[in-house]
Homo-oligomer: A and B are copies of this chain.
Amino acid sequence: MNPQNGTFKKRGIDYEVPEEMFTLTGDYYHSEEIYQKELEKIFYKRWQLACREEQIVEPGDYLTVPVGEESVIVSRTKSGDIKAHFNVCRHRGTRICVEEKGHFANEIIQCPYHGWQYDLDGNLKGAPFMRDVPGFDKADYGLHPVNVRQWGGFVFINLAENPMPFEDEMGALIGRFEAWNLPELRIAHHIPYRLKCNWKLILQNYQECYHCPGVHPLLADWTPFQNAVHDCMEGAVIGGYMTMTRERGSMTMDGEAAAPPVCDVAGEDLQRVHYYSVYPNLLLSPHPDFVLYHLIRPVGVGEITNDCYFLLHPNVIGDAEKMERFKSAIEFWDMTNLQDWAVCEQMQLGTGSRRFERGRYAPQEDILYALDREVLKALED
């Protein structure tokens, strides 16, 4: 196979691909057993997106974050740090928080059942009538901690007891997108979706534009698929950019920018849309005039939630007229998302056939072949 054939641009990076690239077998999208293994080996072991820092501003603010079949409390401490813990009381295992978000009064995490109390660092502070119990030491009964790292205004978590260093997995993010000044940006809009497909199908869909001419006529006009360049294959971060046909354009209903350039974005970036999948659950897409990201969460072998967020500078969010114009970007991406979700759900259905063995990737889908290898490697670990 020669990915440099005449029909699409040379990629910016090199990686080995075999001549014949076959897809995964159908059970990788349908087997409950493989799904459970993926939870163990990937979702309970790897760094992944939890939320934006701005979602927990004040000390005591918290979010309840689902991770596979687990639930994690992510909260802001008194010192301004962000901490995360398993949402499980150490007394008898009660789930402490059931709301999606909230605020812990007096910086105390209190179980609603028997009133055991923890501070925001997870230390057990109060356990009624346990004082005189021989052999009981509060220090042994803190909330189980979850590891936290922040980058670009995003909060990443890792449920493993001894996680791989964040930099080893996510190193490629560090120093990237400086011009966007990501920590300064705020959520301007959120569209929640729920899809009937395996989580990997969404990552695959995001990593190739072979489907664009047929599925996304408007997107294919603004960024012809030949304009795709991959420039990153480090660790969990895979991606590149597409060059827009028009200067000062963007991915909107009319192809024109929806907002002023973000912070210091300039030069070539004014005509590029970046697409990075940050394995396993973040799709990050800096545009010249806004940042789009998707947060993917499996809720079963054949079902996910997919939350789509738009980030803008607070100055734009505060300007009603600018926000009116920005609707063109929201409309464009909602339409484009729905086009993608439909084909992903059809792929979920078809791959369940006993007659489906393996599919065959096209040259432009070579990245998917690499992505599949990553999954297989993770499952073997």
Residues of A whose CB lies within 8 Å of any CB of B are: 1-2, 5, 7-8, 19-20, 23, 26, 44, 69-71, 86-96, 98, 112-115, 127-130, 132-136, 141, 144, 210-211, 213-215, 342-343, 346-347, 349-356, 359-364
Contacts and interface: CB of A to CB of B under 8 A. Distances in A.
Nearest to A29: B93
A363 B71 CA distance: 29
Contacts of A86: 353, 355
A191 B135 CA distance: 43
A214 B343 contact: no
Given A1-B134, A363-B129, A112 B351 contact: no
Given A70-B353, A93-B356, A141-B360, 4 more contacts: A71-B353, A98-B349, A113-B214, A129-B210
A196 B370 CA distance: 42
A44 to B, nearest CB: 7
Chain A interface mostly helix, strand, loop or mixed?
loop
Most buried by B among A115, A128, A355, A363: A355
A214 B114 contact: yes
A93 B353 contact: yes
B133 A363 contact: yes
B359 A90 contact: yes
B351 A115 contact: no
B355 A88 contact: yes
